[in-house]
Structure 1
């Protein structure tokens, strides 16, 4: 059964994982987000009961 042979696929997976972890990810993390999160005061919504016309 060829799918049980990890010889070609393990190297490809390891190479792609290392490429992402060591090269691509640090480059992506250096970007500055356009909308940085900021602290908003917690707001509680004002709820009013619904007045049903048939009750």
Structure 2
């Protein structure tokens, strides 16, 4: 059964993993985030409790 031979598949997996981690991942991490952090304090909204008709 040729599926049990790990020779070609291990090399393909190793090559794809190294490509992802060494080439693609740093390029993706270099992008600026679309929602930068703000130093503003979050506004606290006053909410009213829901009045349930059966209580």
Length-normalised TM-score, structure 1:
0.70
The aligned length equals: 54
Distance 1:45 1:11 in 2: 59
Q: Deviations over 1:2-40 (max 9, x none)?
A: 111101111001000000100111111111012124465
Match for residue 35 of structure 2? 35
Match for residue 24 of structure 2? 24
Length-normalised TM-score, structure 2:
0.70
Unmatched runs of 5 consecutive residues or more in structure 2: none
Distance 2:43 2:13 in 1: 45
